[in-house]
Amino acid sequence: MKHLVRLSLRNRSLIALVTVVAIIFGTIATFSLKKELFPSFNVPSALVISQYPGAAPEAVEREVTDPLESALAGVQSVDEVSSSSSTGNSQITVETKYGTSSDDVVRELQRAVSQVESELPDGVTPTVVAGSADDFPVLVMSVSGDDVEKLSKDLEDIAVPEIKKIDGVRDASISGQKQKQVEIRVKSKQMKDKGVQLDELAQILKTNGVPVSAGELKASNGAAPVEVGKRLTSVEDIKNLYVTGEKNGKPKPIKVRDVADIELKDEPTTSISRSNGKDALTLQVLKKPDANTVDVAEGVQDALPELETKIGNNVEFTTVFDQSPFINQSIEDLVREGGLGLIFAVLVILVFLLSFRATAITAISIPLSLLVTMIAIWRTGYSLNMLTLAALTMSIGRVVDDSIVVIESIRRRQTLGGTKFANIYAAVSEVAGAITSSTLTTVAVFIPLAFITGQTGELFRPFALTTSIALLSSLLVSLTIVPVLAYWFLRARESRVKLTRSDKKEIRSLRKENLKQWKKERKESRKRARAGGTGPRRATSEMPVVGKTAASVLGEDEGSAAEVDELASLKSPVTRLQKTYTPVVGWATRHPVITIVVSVVLLIGTLAMTPLLKTEFLGDTGEDTVQAQQTFEPGVGLEEAGKQAEKVEEVLSKTPGVESYQFSIGDAGLSFGSDGGGLSGDYFINLETGANTSEVSADIQKRFDELDGVGELEVRSSNAGPGGDSIDLTLTSNDSKALEDGVKKLTEELQGVDGVQTVTNDLQAVQPIVQVTVDVKKAQEKGLTEAQVSEYVQRAVEGQDIGDLIIDSSTRSVKLFDGSADTVEKLEDLKIPYTEQTVQASPVPGMPGTPTTKNKKIKLSKIAKVEEVKTAPVIRHSGGLRSAQVSVTPTGDNLGEVVQNVNQKVDETELPSGVTQATSGVGAEQADAFKQMGLAMLAAILIVFVILVATFKSLIQPLILLVSIPFAATGSIGLLLLTDTPLGLASLIGLLMLIGVVVTNAIVLIDLINHFRAHGVDLRTAVINGARLRYRPIIMTAAATIFALIPMALGLTGGGGVFISKPLAMVVIGGLVSSTLLTLILVPVLYQLIEGFKERRREKKIIKEMARSSVIDKAEARSES
């Protein structure tokens, strides 16, 4: 590092230029960073979705879900497989390792699915969908207008294409709209009379109206494409299509209008979307993975006024969900807190140094280090989010540490006299090794985070990288830029003796003589150069430099070749600040037993306080939105669900603190991955500015609980962070009845547990379904397959999808209905057409007969069993077994206590035989995160120990330094308890940081003591003076860090980043206070005890060797004589 200092001082202009370039690129990087709430990472999950129309849940489970689960469970990157099977729908959730590429996951799963696809029923084609944080909309708008149907078309034709053009938008979609469809209802009597077959009618409808390319022909002006067929553009065109009928055994063309009724009607309602109780459509916007969330949201918002003008129809866009204002506000608040911290840190430095120039040089390291960090964040592809911004804000108090030590050393050297060049080099070289070791130690504690898996690692790796780069940047700045700035702007301390007029006159006289002498020497030097001698040299004064002369170090004769005074620091005068500390450290070193006993008592007290701490996972993000879900009773249709939701909306309209709300159900819902097991509606609730999210959420839940006949209602705040906010208990069993009993029992037992707000489960009551079981043998006797029977049943019940046509300039779906089977009896009487083949005997004996075919029909009841049965609407699996989930929503801020209470109640509850239970959700995530962070801290301590051993070439001295670590916990835990702040993941990151931070002070202290002892200073003098001389830089760095973090710890701006920055700052402040005080007292005591013991042992060994040598000499003398 000394070579780096020398290089910087010899190339000052280059250093200045590099600094300007870093400022320019750092500024560009700052404004180029994308803004997000949390770091982007691939959610380690994917969905495998399969449609099996008309199949009951048991059939879906048996024929689709089971074989797919078996195949997917064998994929190497898969951690867990769970599924849900409902009527006509199979959905399998596959969880993989965090950080796995979404594309790789999809490819592996598709490969596994293809291996069993042949075993699935005909027509079942699984679809693999990868999950990602970018799949969640960045913006959700509620859109209302006078004519909803026209509005829907205008949004699709005008708004969606315009929004997709906005930079960063991946997709925009409209849901909740009411569409038209072409309904073709067969007239059975006319079909029979005219001899038209249903299959042939369906085939005609599918194949007509779609022009087919037939190649090209030569024409006068070149090649002309040939197109066969005419596109259908209206209902009338469909009516005028011809289908082949039969009359008197001969084919006859029949118009479709003669055998069916064709009408353009509203599609059956599949979704409801309302905003503040009024019908509305939902507009969702997704961003590209590399896009800036804020830029995308603001770009869409800016485009809305123009879209409103183009669409007309009194259209109104209402924001339901938008991350950008919260992100912007959180960033602004954290930047404001960081700015206040910077001011506080600078004021602390000014108080200690009492020099504006020295303070300015030290403070400049903060913005420079942060700008270099911005460049690194930009180039690594990370975003400006709550984690990286919290890291930058935390770094403000730490990046100035190295510069403080450097400047303090330079200022102290200036009191000893000498030239500026030599002073700066000597001062920086003296501390370069210590600050390098301390910075590397602080950075090294983040290495274990690279190996932490799961959500914790994904979230906090950007935090660790940002902090590490900031600290390394500050080290580089302190060894290069700070010395150069000190050379240019820092004046040597002048004597405070008052000069008389004659003294000033003498100074002016000597100045003139010196100038005259310098000119004379320069002239003689040039003469020698012309005569072939050495080149010109500048005259310098004498100045002691550590290890070398200034001339030999810098390559410039800034002084005479005076020898170095390695103990120059001992000659520095005792300051007033040191006078308050020296007696304390002197007393402690004279009474080591008392000092150590008091320290041990403090450590035991720390351990005793630990159980009193509250715990949480990530804490409250501070967002002013709340989500709620309404699960309707089995059998409730969409229309009835909408009416029940109106009661809920009325409650929301009267709840204090609620600004606006949106309800959506069906296709308009925003929930990703609905299992299709029954109706459920989603509520997005925006709160008024300044409203307490937790209090309003509790009030809403209380009001919901008072409602009757609305199903189950559960409130979940949106500010629970990526970890969610529920404790999930998954029960599994092969016995469905035992599983149901176990879920009900556990739900009841958990209702009264302390700290539990709500308890829900996903076990839905059985509902009636009409089960059609085809007798495959009888069907095959009539030439029918199970798939064909299913198709005829579908036509009768809900209509057969024929395809899409462009009707009246809009895409319309076409459905074919074969009668109206709206009861079980009518379904049983459904006539299924089939072809009977017979052989007519030949009139010629011995010749084969003539095969003949005849179209016939058979009742469904003859080839299938139609019955109404009761079954669970959804069958869920976890790990291949049937499962159900009990969800507990905790209240208050002590998640750890609630998890403990829940686990205790679960252990006390006797579940039915064969039922097993596993915990997931935020409780399991917290336990896993705490465990991994504990291991990371142990690994960090080991890494720090290795670095210290390499630095001090000793195994004992690093152990002295590590004593600071447990005492950091004393202040951290004490401050958390004092402020009633829970210990969460952010707090644990703070404790991890402290492992490196608190050791740095001890490194600087021990390094100087070792330096003194290496040059012959006795142990006690070295300890006392080393502690005295390092007292001010240690106090300065600790105070600067503490005061820089005070705005964050107090949450002065109340911003969204408080949930991370506040507990982090609390832990670091508390730990620094206790560890700094103990480092200044306990470390010198332990050092003196251990090194004193080593000296005494060494002395005894020397005395022993001397005595032995004396005896041996005498014996040799006797033998020679």
CATH code, 67: 3.30.70.1430
pLDDT reading at 607 higher than 70: yes
- Do 1050 and 336 touch, CB atoms closer than 8 A? no
Is the same domain home to 444 and 487? yes
3-state secondary structure of 865: strand
Amino acid at 735: D
What number is the average pLDDT over the span 438-452? Answer: 83
pLDDT confidence of residue 133: 55
**Residue 882 burial (10 A CB sphere; 0-12, 13-18, 19+):** buried
What number is the average pLDDT over the span 197-211? Answer: 76
Cβ contacts of residue 855 below 8 Å, gap of 6+?
197, 833, 834, 835, 836
CA distances from 1084 to 431, 569, 987, 1008, 1091 (A): 19, 18, 29, 12, 10
Q: Residue 791: give the domain boundaries.
A: 180-212+228-266+768-841+848-871
Of 1117 and 294, the structure prediction assigns the larger pLDDT to: 294
pLDDT reading at 125 higher than 50: yes
Taking only the tens place, the pLDDT of each residue in 376-398 is 888 887 888 778 888 887 788 77
pLDDT confidence of residue 609: 82
Domain edge (last residue) among 458, 491, 524: 491
- Strand ranges, E, within 573-717: 625-631, 658-666, 680-687, 712-717
What number is the average pLDDT over the span 955-971? Answer: 84
Taking only the tens place, the pLDDT of each residue in 311-320 is 887 888 888 7
pLDDT tier at 416 (50, 70, 90 boundaries)? low
Is residue 990, in this structure, part of any structural domain at all? yes
Cα 847–Cα 850–Cα 852 angle in degrees, nearest 5: 165
pLDDT tier at 413 (50, 70, 90 boundaries)? confident
Taking only the tens place, the pLDDT of each residue in 720-745 is 555 556 788 888 888 888 888 888 88
Is residue 879, in this structure, part of any structural domain at all? no
Taking only the tens place, the pLDDT of each residue in 996-1035 is 888 887 887 888 888 888 877 888 888 888 888 888 888 8
Of 1099 and 943, the structure prediction assigns the larger pLDDT to: 943
Cα 355–Cα 358–Cα 362 angle in degrees, nearest 5: 135
Is the same domain home to 1001 and 1081? yes
Average pLDDT of the chain to the nearest whole number: 79
pLDDT confidence of residue 545: 36
Cα 144–Cα 145–Cα 148 angle in degrees, nearest 5: 90
- Do 699 and 613 touch, CB atoms closer than 8 A? no
Of 819 and 413, the structure prediction assigns the larger pLDDT to: 413
pLDDT reading at 610 higher than 50: yes
The upper half-sphere exposure of residue 398, i.e. CA atoms within 13 Å in the direction of its Cβ, equals 33
Is the same domain home to 101 and 20? no
CA 988 to mean position of chain CA atoms: 17
**Residue 117 burial (10 A CB sphere; 0-12, 13-18, 19+):** middle
pLDDT reading at 672 higher than 50: no
Percent helix, strand and coil across the chain, each to the nearest 5: 55, 20, 25
pLDDT reading at 830 higher than 50: yes
DSSP code of 136?
A: S
- Whole-number percent of the chain with pLDDT over 70: 85
What number is the average pLDDT over the span 318-331? Answer: 79
Cβ contacts of residue 173 below 8 Å, gap of 6+?
160, 283, 284
Of 104 and 671, the structure prediction assigns the larger pLDDT to: 104
pLDDT confidence of residue 564: 40
pLDDT reading at 891 higher than 80: no
Which pairing describes strands 278-279 and 680-687: parallel, antiparallel, or unpaired?
A: unpaired
Q: Phi/psi of residue 866, each to 5°?
A: -110, 120
Is the same domain home to 14 and 47? no
Q: Phi/psi of residue 967, each to 5°?
A: -75, -15
Is the same domain home to 971 and 1080? yes
- Do 1050 and 327 touch, CB atoms closer than 8 A? no
Taking only the tens place, the pLDDT of each residue in 770-800 is 888 888 888 888 888 887 888 788 778 877 7
Q: Among 400-409, 492-501, 819-828, 870-879, which stretch is predicted with the lowest mean pLDDT?
A: 492-501
pLDDT reading at 660 higher than 60: yes
Domain count, the chain: 5
pLDDT confidence of residue 492: 62
Is residue 94, in this structure, part of any structural domain at all? yes
Both structure tokens of 742: 């176990």
Is the same domain home to 866 and 971? no
Domain of 684: which CATH number?
Answer: 3.30.70.1320
Is the same domain home to 685 and 793? no
Of 448 and 636, the structure prediction assigns the larger pLDDT to: 448
Is residue 1040, in this structure, part of any structural domain at all? yes
pLDDT confidence of residue 24: 92
pLDDT reading at 95 higher than 70: yes
The upper half-sphere exposure of residue 892, i.e. CA atoms within 13 Å in the direction of its Cβ, equals 13
CA dist., res. 509 & res. 129, Å (int): 88
- Do 1069 and 1045 touch, CB atoms closer than 8 A? yes
Buried b (16+ CB within 10 A) or exposed e, 842-866: eeeeeeeeeeeeeeeebebeebbeb
What number is the average pLDDT over the span 905-933? Answer: 82
Q: Among 131-140, 740-749, 904-913, which stretch is predicted with the lowest mean pLDDT?
A: 131-140
Is residue 417, in this structure, part of any structural domain at all? yes
Domain of 387: which CATH number?
Answer: 1.20.1640.10
459-468, 571-580, 806-815 — most confident range: 459-468
Show contacts of 636-643: CB within 8 Å, 24+ apart.
636/679, 636/711, 637/679, 638/269, 638/270, 638/271, 638/272, 638/665, 638/666, 638/679, 639/269, 641/272, 641/665, 641/679, 641/681, 642/272
DSSP code of 125?
A: -
pLDDT confidence of residue 34: 79
Is the same domain home to 239 and 122? no
What number is the average pLDDT over the span 119-138? Answer: 76
Is the same domain home to 969 and 1075? yes
- Strand ranges, E, within 862-994: 864-871, 874-878, 881-890, 916-920
Cα 971–Cα 973–Cα 978 angle in degrees, nearest 5: 90
CA dist., res. 364 & res. 359, Å (int): 9
Is the same domain home to 22 and 50? no
Amino acid at 959: L
- Do 889 and 726 touch, CB atoms closer than 8 A? yes
Is residue 935, in this structure, part of any structural domain at all? no
H or E element at residue 176: none
Amino acid at 1009: I
pLDDT confidence of residue 725: 65
CA dist., res. 308 & res. 525, Å (int): 84
Closest CA relative to residue 4, chosen from 436, 488, 492 = 436
Domain edge (last residue) among 463, 491, 519: 491
pLDDT reading at 555 higher than 70: no
Is the same domain home to 19 and 119? no
Domain edge (last residue) among 491, 516, 547: 491
What number is the average pLDDT over the span 156-166? Answer: 87
3-state secondary structure of 848: coil
H or E element at residue 100: none
Q: How far apart are the first and last CA of the chain?
A: 60
Q: Among 5-9, 337-341, 806-810, which stretch is predicted with the lowest mean pLDDT?
A: 806-810
Cβ contacts of residue 350 below 8 Å, gap of 6+?
356, 359
pLDDT tier at 271 (50, 70, 90 boundaries)? confident
- Strand ranges, E, within 525-657: 625-631
pLDDT reading at 131 higher than 70: no
Is the same domain home to 664 and 583? no
pLDDT confidence of residue 361: 85
Q: Among 301-305, 341-345, 542-546, 983-987, which stretch is predicted with the lowest mean pLDDT?
A: 542-546
Cα 257–Cα 260–Cα 264 angle in degrees, nearest 5: 85
Walk across the sheet containing 271-275 and list its strands: 278-279, 271-275, 658-666, 680-687, 625-631, 712-717
Taking only the tens place, the pLDDT of each residue in 1097-1121 is 887 788 877 777 777 777 777 777 6
CA dist., res. 718 & res. 703, Å (int): 19
Of 624 and 135, the structure prediction assigns the larger pLDDT to: 624
